[in-house]
């Protein structure tokens, strides 16, 4: 099994070379969903990678709109063909363009669709002798990965370490949240097409979802990275030819340890130094249907009987701010029940009651903000009921 990885800077090439990596994936922000490398730097990296005798895979993985297609094709025509060995594509339109305008071998990315064998085989037959490799989806469980590798008459690649994409939209969701001054600076900046942020759920305590906005849209990732290196022996037994390592959001120097891994036990030790929590995703078992139940946190869904409202803020040892969302009055000495987003129940009596101006009141009604005595263990989004 061969490891492949990305290079985004010239300095990455020496790290990859010293690690024994033979094939690298290169691209620029005009063609790549996640690379933020300028076109000029991309050309420089290609030239240096050629000197270091890498197999160079040029990645054009964006899902491209019609309005941008011509401009992207012009950029492609400005890349000297001798600077890369293979073209890696995802969009069917880009695939057709490469088939008609290039003689290079093709790697087809099927990570965001084509989960059934028939569709994958159709693409294999369509590309024919130009096909260099198929990139399978990480949403396939290990039984399907094994079956497809055995039945496909071509080389197969699978992501074994890296971020898990949860959501993509061509809309720019992050820059729209900037204030006016930030928007001015954003549009004046030469790198005005790239923002990184962190998101959190409004309906559960989960937070830390990595977010990226660039010229191609907005991407949201799982809070944990995919880690299949502790299944390396299984993957090798399946006949997997290429394992992709994506360290674009981590320390590329980890590749030096990864390439030395021979057993699952050795891989487990890497988890301790990886720096990000990891999961095996769908590989162990495909339970995609279970996720639908988690789209809405039933623990914080409103129940009208004795419902009072929702905790907007909890300041330790000082107060809890409750938004009254029903026509049930909240009064001094009321006994309350709180249900947290994780389903825990807490109880307390209203000893102090103030309005948003910090004036003492004897009750609060619909639409008002009430400040009451603090209760340990209760936090934002907890639902409030009369007991």
CA gap 24, 6 in Å, rounded: 6
* Cross-strand bridge partners of residue 364: 330
CA gap 33, 162 in Å, rounded: 15
The angle at the Cα of 100, spanning 96 to 103, to the nearest 5 degrees, equals 110
Are 238 and 329 part of one and the same domain?
no
Are 36 and 115 part of one and the same domain?
yes
Are 228 and 126 part of one and the same domain?
yes
Are 82 and 193 part of one and the same domain?
no
Are 15 and 45 part of one and the same domain?
yes
Domain CATH number, residue 332: 2.40.30.10
CA gap 355, 377 in Å, rounded: 22
Are 172 and 279 part of one and the same domain?
no
Token digits of residue 179: 């204030």
Token digits of residue 156: 């197969």
CA gap 279, 270 in Å, rounded: 13
**Tokens 């965001």 -> residue:** 112
Q: Which pLDDT score, from 0 to 100, does residue 194 have?
A: 86
Do residues 70 and 49 make contact, with C-beta atoms less than 8 angstroms apart?
no
Read off the pLDDT of residues 75-102 as tens digits, 9 standing for 90 and up.
999 999 999 999 999 999 999 999 999 9
Are 209 and 270 part of one and the same domain?
no
Are 304 and 203 part of one and the same domain?
no
CA gap 97, 87 in Å, rounded: 11
Q: Which pLDDT score, from 0 to 100, does residue 289 have?
A: 47
Q: Which pLDDT score, from 0 to 100, does residue 191 have?
A: 45
**Domain stops at, among 292, 315, 348:** 292
* Nearest one of 65, 93, 83, 96 to 27, comparing CA atoms: 83
Are 173 and 93 part of one and the same domain?
no
Please count the structural domains in the chain. Answer: 3
Do residues 225 and 278 make contact, with C-beta atoms less than 8 angstroms apart?
yes
Q: What is the SS3 assignment for 12?
A: helix
**Domain stops at, among 259, 292, 325:** 292
Which residue ranges of the chain lie beneath pLDDT 50?
184, 188-191, 288-292
Are 101 and 205 part of one and the same domain?
no
Domain CATH number, residue 14: 3.20.20.60
* Cross-strand bridge partners of residue 134: 108, 156
* Full DSSP string of 116-173: SHHHHHHHHHHHGGGEEEEE--TTS-HHHHHHHHHH-SS-EEEEEEE--EEEEESS-T
Are 253 and 171 part of one and the same domain?
no
Helix, strand, coil abundance in the chain, percent, nearest 5: 30, 30, 40
CA gap 77, 71 in Å, rounded: 10
Taken as a whole, the chain contains a residue count of 387
Do residues 220 and 209 make contact, with C-beta atoms less than 8 angstroms apart?
yes
Q: Is 66 exposed, middle or buried (0-12, 13-18, 19+ CB in 10 A)?
A: exposed
3-class SS string, 265-309? HHHHHHHHHHCCCEECCCCCCCCHHHHHHHCCCHHHCCCCCCEEE
**Domain stops at, among 292, 321, 351:** 292
Q: Which pLDDT score, from 0 to 100, does residue 371 have?
A: 96
Q: What phi and psi, each to the nearest 5 degrees, are found at residue 192?
A: -75, 10
* Full DSSP string of 178-200: S-HHHHHHHHHSTTTTEEEEEEE
Are 288 and 275 part of one and the same domain?
yes
The boundaries of the domain holding residue 211 are: 167-222
Q: What phi and psi, each to the nearest 5 degrees, are found at residue 338?
A: -115, 135
């Amino acid at each position: 099994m061969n490891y492949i990885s990305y290079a985004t800077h010239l300095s990455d090439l020496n790290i990859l070379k010293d690690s024994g990596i033979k094939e690298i994936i290169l691209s620029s922000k005009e063609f790549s969903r996640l690379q933020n490398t300028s076109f000029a730097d991309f050309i420089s990296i290609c030239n240096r990678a050629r000197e270091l005798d890498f197999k160079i895979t040029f990645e054009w993985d964006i899902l491209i709109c019609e309005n941008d297609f011509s401009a992207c094709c012009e950029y492609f025509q400005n890349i000297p063909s001798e600077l890369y060995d293979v073209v890696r594509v995802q969009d069917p339109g880009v695939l057709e363009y490469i088939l008609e305008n290039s003689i290079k071998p093709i790697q087809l990315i099927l990570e965001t669709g084509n989960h059934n064998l028939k569709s994958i085989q159709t693409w294999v037959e369509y590309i024919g002798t130009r096909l260099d490799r198929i990139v399978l989806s990480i949403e396939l469980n290990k039984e399907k990965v094994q079956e497809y590798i055995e039945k496909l008459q071509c080389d197969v690649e699978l992501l074994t370490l890296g971020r898990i994409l949860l959501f993509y939209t061509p809309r720019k969701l992050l820059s729209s949240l900037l204030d006016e001054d930030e928007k001015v600076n954003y549009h004046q900046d030469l790198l005005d097409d790239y923002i990184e942020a962190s998101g959190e759920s409004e309906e559960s305590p989960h937070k830390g979802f990595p977010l990226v906005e660039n010229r191609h849209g907005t991407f949201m990732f799982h809070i944990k990275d995919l880690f299949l290196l502790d299944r390396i022996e299984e993957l090798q037994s399946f006949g997997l030819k290429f394992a992709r390592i994506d360290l674009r959001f981590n320390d590329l120097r980890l590749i030096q340890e990864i390439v030395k891994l021979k057993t699952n036990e050795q891989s487990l030790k890497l988890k301790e130094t990886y720096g990000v929590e990891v999961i095996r995703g769908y590989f162990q078992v495909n339970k995609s249907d279970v996720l639908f139940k988690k789209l809405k946190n039933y623990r914080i869904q409103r129940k009208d009987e004795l419902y009072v409202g929702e905790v907007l803020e909890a300041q330790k040892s000082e107060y809890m701010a409750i938004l009254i969302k029903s026509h049930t009055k909240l009064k001094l000495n009321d006994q309350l029940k709180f249900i947290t987003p994780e389903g825990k129940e807490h109880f307390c009596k209203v000893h102090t009651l103030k309005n948003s101006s910090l004036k003492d009141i004897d009750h609060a009604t619909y639409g008002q903000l009430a400040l009451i005595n603090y209760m340990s263990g209760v936090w934002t989004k907890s639902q409030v009921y009369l007991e």
